[in-house]
């Protein structure tokens, strides 16, 4: 998470007061979330703020790291200098959400975001292994509510890419939004980003190589 300095109303006194009241869920603002980070509470942990909740994420496996870096390189070549392919960079959404997708593509250069994180993205990619259900549900609905036109999930378990497009209102789900179109592409297929339709990216190039079966002894 980012630990840029922000003002906060959170103090030890407010925490003690909350403990003295009836049991309730404590929602955090982005300012409070950053304050906690600056105090070292999240040291060596992967966390993100989603709808006022601090979510603890699993450590990245070697396969996850491989997929993330492979996609970053592919998208960097596809989009070029007029875009920034952000690697584990936060996005801000309202006062109580700061997701940190594995990859997001924003229009502009580093200088455009020197003082603030982006609030949306042309394309977001999550690399999923243990987080697959979280990415398919919570993250999908959150990104749709942020008007992200295209959201990919690289599913390491089933070796496929799930392509979400066309965010729409959906009162039946969390955050009130979902994607109207979901396409699953196997490892023999390819995909072209909506924002760069001339680019064709092979799904196999995003995935870690298959392990060779052990030789019979």
28 and 115 share one domain: no
Residue 190 CA to residue 199 CA, distance in Å, equals 10
Of all residues in the chain, what percent carry a pLDDT higher than 90?
Answer: 75
- Quick: pLDDT tens for 150-199: 999 999 999 999 999 999 999 999 999 999 999 999 999 999 999 999 99
The answer, yes or no, to whether residue 4 has pLDDT greater than 50, is no
d(CA 147, CA 108): 18
**pTM for this structure?**
0.85
179 and 152, same domain (yes or no): yes
Q: Into how many domains does the chain fold?
A: 2
Give the 3-state secondary structure of residue 74: helix
Q: Are 38 and 72 part of one and the same domain?
A: no
pLDDT at 15 over 70: no
Residues 171 and 185 in one domain: yes
């Amino acid at each position: 998470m980012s630990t840029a300095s922000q003002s906060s109303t959170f103090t030890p006194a407010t925490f003690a007061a909350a403990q003295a009241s009836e049991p309730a869920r404590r929602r955090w603002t982005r300012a409070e979330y950053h304050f906690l980070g600056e105090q070292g509470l999240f040291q060596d942990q992967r966390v993100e703020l989603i709808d006022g909740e601090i979510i603890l994420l699993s450590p990245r496996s070697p396969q996850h790291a491989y997929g993330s870096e492979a996609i970053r390189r592919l998208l960097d070549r596809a989009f070029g200098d007029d875009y920034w392919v952000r690697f584990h960079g936060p996005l801000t959404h309202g006062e109580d959400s700061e997701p940190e997708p594995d990859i997001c593509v924003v229009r502009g250069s580093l200088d455009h975001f020197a003082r603030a994180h982006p609030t949306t993205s042309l394309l977001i990619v999550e690399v999923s292994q243990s987080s697959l259900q979280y990415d398919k549900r919570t993250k999908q609905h959150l990104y749709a509510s942020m008007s992200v036109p295209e959201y990919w999930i690289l599913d390491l378990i089933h070796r496929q890419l799930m392509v979400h497009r066309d965010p729409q209102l959906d009162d039946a789900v969390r955050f009130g939004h979902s994607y109207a179109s979901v396409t699953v592409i196997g490892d023999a297929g390819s995909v072209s980003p909506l924002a760069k339709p001339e680019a064709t990216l092979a799904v196999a190039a995003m995935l870690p190589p298959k392990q060779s079966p052990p030789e019979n002894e």
